[in-house]
Amino acid sequence: MKITVIGTGYVGLVTGACLAEYGNDVVCLDLDSKKIDLLKAGGIPIYEPGLDTIVASNVAAGRLRFTTDVAESVQHGTVQFIAVGTPPDEDGSADLKYVLAAARNIGRLMTDYKVVVDKSTVPVGTAEKVKEAIAEELAARGVKLEFSVASNPEFLKEGAAVEDFMRPDRIVIGAEDERAIHVMKAIYHPFQRNHDRTLVMDIRSAELTKYAANAMLATRISFMNEIANLAEKLGADVEHVRRGIGSDPRIGYHFLYPGCGYGGSCFPKDVQALQQTAVENGMQLKVLNAVESVNEGQKQVLLHKLISRFGDDLSGKRFAVWGLAFKPRTDDMREAPSLVLIEALLAHGASVVAFDPVAMTEARRHLGERITYATDPINALEGADALLIVTEWKQFQVPDFEVVKAKLKTPLILDGRNLYEPAFVRQHGLEYDAIGRR
């Protein structure tokens, strides 16, 4: 099938590459010529495991192309996936200007039937706006052409995006005419694995499903963060509690890990956008309001632990931070809890030496030279008053604690991701405090 993907961010690039992998003829459009030049030269603008290989092999096979030419991209695909950014407005609602600009281009240039698919996470009602925008452009041209609009939210996780796309738990298709449903089912036929995973529903429900999924996951995390904080007060251990409740199949083990707050391009933005949608419809989502405020507080948890150890004035102190990305296996710094912690440390007069296996270039864009970037995790510890762990990269999981102790000026680890067994670390003569651990 001829497919166009508009936007070569995480979602667009992964969608384009994975659809090409199953034999589709895919053109990816981006207006950012630097990005397209990089992709054409074989580069990948983001760090995402496995993406480089799948892009390279499909480009070589002639099934995947990149362009900045809007007319070519509209002409190409019978199916036009809109996967452009939806940055938050000041009030937290998603800004649709890029989505609607893409829709208008399609209406302005199409010459045959198109299925226009919203792949970006967009507020409920966006498909109707996309439909209107295309219809207006067609009317302005005075042409009558058929088109369908569908919603097909993406559930991929950064760091596992290719795998998530290729082996989806479910494929949500919001579509309201048979022609679009038929096309969408045909595209996703190869991704089914043993049984039909497509859930076809009305467009508004599909749009809401995406927000509800992310909001539910964020809720679990904030709930566990509160339970962890309570466990600390009670002298209980949240690790036992986590396993104790996760073993109930109605609860399950996933997304019950307390930490120093959730970040990333989805949870914070989607929680806020859903709250805003509710407000616009005369409602407050009380649970989500709490989820967000707990998360804001949780990003300060390591700072509070430091202050109770060293006092409010941290000037002259130097802290090592392991992990900058909002989670492992990505260089994404969007809404990363590390940024909140580091800004707070700097505001309290401390200096910071940080290490992250892949996100230091991205981190520099946010923090510049206000902190020092170490060449490896151990170097970061030299003379530091504590090690603060913010991202659970694999390479942090089994450090040589004797070396860690020898390098630190104050033998203290504050672990925002609960990487270690407290008793084991303490055996090495280190002070160790984590989130909700005894």
Query: Which residues form the catalytic set?
Result: 266
Q: Is 131 annotated as a binding residue?
A: no
Residue 322 binds to ligand UDX (criterion: CB under 6 A): no
Residue 21 binds to ligand UDX (criterion: CB under 6 A): no
Q: Is 267 annotated as a binding residue?
A: no
In the complex, the smallest distance separating the C-beta of residue 345 from ligand UDX, rounded to whole angstroms, is 19
3-state DSSP percent of the chain in helix, strand and coil, to 5: 45, 15, 40
Burial of 19 (0-12, 13-18, 19+ CB in 10 A): buried
**Interface pattern 241-260 for ligand UDX (x via CB under 6 A):** --------------xxx-x-
Q: Is 259 helix (H, G, I), strand (E, B) or coil?
A: coil
In the complex, the smallest distance separating the C-beta of residue 183 from ligand UDX, rounded to whole angstroms, is 23
* Dist CA 404 CA 411 (whole Å): 8
* Dist CA 123 CA 308 (whole Å): 42
Q: Is 269 annotated as a binding residue?
A: yes
Burial of 136 (0-12, 13-18, 19+ CB in 10 A): middle
Residue 266 binds to ligand UDX (criterion: CB under 6 A): yes
In the complex, the smallest distance separating the C-beta of residue 336 from ligand UDX, rounded to whole angstroms, is 8
Q: Is 210 annotated as a binding residue?
A: yes
Residue 156 binds to ligand UDX (criterion: CB under 6 A): yes
Q: Is 34 annotated as a binding residue?
A: no
Region binding ligand UDX by CB under 6 A among candidate stretches 27-35, 97-105, 150-158, 353-361: 150-158
In the complex, the smallest distance separating the C-beta of residue 61 from ligand UDX, rounded to whole angstroms, is 27
Q: Is 387 helix (H, G, I), strand (E, B) or coil?
A: strand
* Dist CA 315 CA 306 (whole Å): 12
Check: CB of residue 411 under 8 Å from CB of residue 431: yes
Check: CB of residue 291 under 8 Å from CB of residue 262: no
Return the number of the residue (156 or 387) whose C-beta is nearest ligand UDX: 156
Q: Is 246 annotated as a binding residue?
A: no
Q: Which of 327, 431, 333 is nearest to 387 (CA)?
A: 431
Return the number of the residue (156 or 171) whose C-beta is nearest ligand UDX: 156
* Dist CA 359 CA 337 (whole Å): 13
Residue 262 binds to ligand UDX (criterion: CB under 6 A): yes
Return the number of the residue (73 or 222) whose C-beta is nearest ligand UDX: 222
Q: Is 156 annotated as a binding residue?
A: yes
Check: CB of residue 256 under 8 Å from CB of residue 245: yes
Residue 295 binds to ligand UDX (criterion: CB under 6 A): no
Q: Which of 364, 415, 420, 412 is nearest to 384 (CA)?
A: 412
**Contacts with ligand UDX in 195-224 (CB under 6 A)?**
214, 217, 221
| Structural tokens at position 10 | 């995480």
State the binding site for substrate.
Answer: 155-158, 210, 255-259, 263, 327
Binding residues for ligand UDX (CB under 6 A): 154-158, 214, 217, 221, 255-257, 259, 262-264, 266-267, 326-327
Residue ranges for the binding site?
Answer: 30, 35, 86, 121, 155-158, 210, 255-259, 263, 269, 327, 334
